[in-house]
Amino acid sequence: MYYYNIHDIIKVKTEIKLQELEYFVSKEFEDPDIMLIIRSFSKDPDMSKFRATRKLITDNFDSKSSQYTIKYTEHFGSSGAQFQIKFNGSKIEIAINELISKSKHVTYVNLIEPILRFLFISKGYILLHSACMSSPSGQGFFLSAPPDTGKTTTVIKCVKQGYYFLSDDMTIINLPNNAVCFPKSMTISAHTYKTAVEAQSSDNYDKEDVNDKKGMRIRSLVHSKTGRSLMHKLADHNVPIFTINTIGQSKIKPPKYHISDIIKDAKIKDKTTINSLFFLEKGSDEEKVEKIERISVNDALQRAIENSDDAFLFPPYSDLIKYIRIEDKTAYDLLQDEKKMMEKLLSSIDCYILKSSGRKWSEMILEKFKT
């Protein structure tokens, strides 16, 4: 068994190792908030047969009870991807079949992390889709952007200049404006590859290092924006998308690297007080613009919610959301709570758009916090 204690807020106990939660490895504990197990559904009559489409099956959900079960199966029955989630108030048990367990990344991103989002909300926290850093002088800030904009590249460049790292993808927020780290591994996409290699080279990594440049290059191309876009388009059609995704990512592992794999002397900070939120925006090549613009709370709220939702759209989350309930609150109730908390957060900090035609966001940030 593997045990992960996320800042004493949420505890996860699992039968498979989750790379994304490696920072939170813990000694054994009882009564986890999330329990992940592997089991076979071949003898379950709801799950074993072949089907014409993806299927979600619920048990006791309509009774409004805090104890209920949802099951997910696809076209190939027990030969494809299948899972079951048992809700019991604020405690959740996720059972996955052997196929899903082969891809730990899919297990975390498509099952664990969406549930974490709602558990955090129920406990008064926000799990925000954003990077988080702190300047050497102690100015904490978020970076928010749609996938594949350049957030990870910006983070690597800032950390290389001595900035403190808290997260690259998800940040835990405690009101009014406090952030605690969530330093899971970063996805090195195709356009981030060059920056990552340059950072590694300047740190004199050994040729035999497990995160070799050739392997990083191949994996970053396979798991590129084009590849993910294709999967999102497939998800709109009647295909066994979760099975396809699981098999694909078990064969070619996602290009996941911890910040210390890229920059050996990277400084990780446990928590910080947030002063600013920067939305990264690409300008057109014709504009040739690098500018910083202050925006309203309402504008920032809309952008932050859109960018967070972008991280949770892939099936089965889009199928699951209507059946998620923590204690007496549905997922939609919890999302309203999250929106109210987000508004309070954004009202207490400065919000900006960083617009750059040449992806020079790191230079703009370094200049702003220059001491």
β-strand partners of 71: 57, 84
Per-residue DSSP letter, 25: B
For 180-321, where are the alpha helices, taking DSSP H only? Answer: 193-202, 213-222, 225-235, 241-251, 259-262, 297-310, 317-320
Q: Once rounded to an integer, what is the mean pLDDT over residues 346-350?
A: 97
Instruction: Judge whether 103 and 250 are in contact, CB under 8 Å.
Output: yes
Query: pLDDT digits over 82-123, tens only?
Result: 999 999 999 999 999 999 999 999 999 899 999 999 999 999
Question: Residue 211's pLDDT is what?
Answer: 45
Query: pLDDT digits over 167-181, tens only?
Result: 999 999 999 999 999
Query: pLDDT digits over 192-236, tens only?
Result: 655 555 666 555 545 444 445 545 444 444 445 555 566 667 777
Query: pLDDT digits over 28-79, tens only?
Result: 999 999 999 999 999 999 898 888 888 999 999 888 888 999 999 999 888 9
Q: Within a 13 Å sphere around the CA of 66, how many CA atoms are in the beta-carbon half?
A: 9
- Give backbone dihedrals phi and psi of 84, rounded to 5 degrees, phi first: -140, 140
Distance CA 164, CA 7 (A): 18
pLDDT at 13 exceeding the cut of 90: yes
Long-range contacts of 106-109 (CB under 8 A, 24+ apart): 106/242, 106/245, 106/246, 106/249, 106/250, 107/16, 107/18, 107/36, 108/18, 108/19, 108/20, 108/21, 109/20, 109/314
Question: Residue 219's pLDDT is what?
Answer: 45
Query: pLDDT digits over 270-314, tens only?
Result: 999 999 999 999 887 666 788 999 999 999 999 998 888 766 666
Distance CA 120, CA 111 (A): 15
Q: Once rounded to an integer, what is the mean pLDDT over residues 145-169?
A: 91
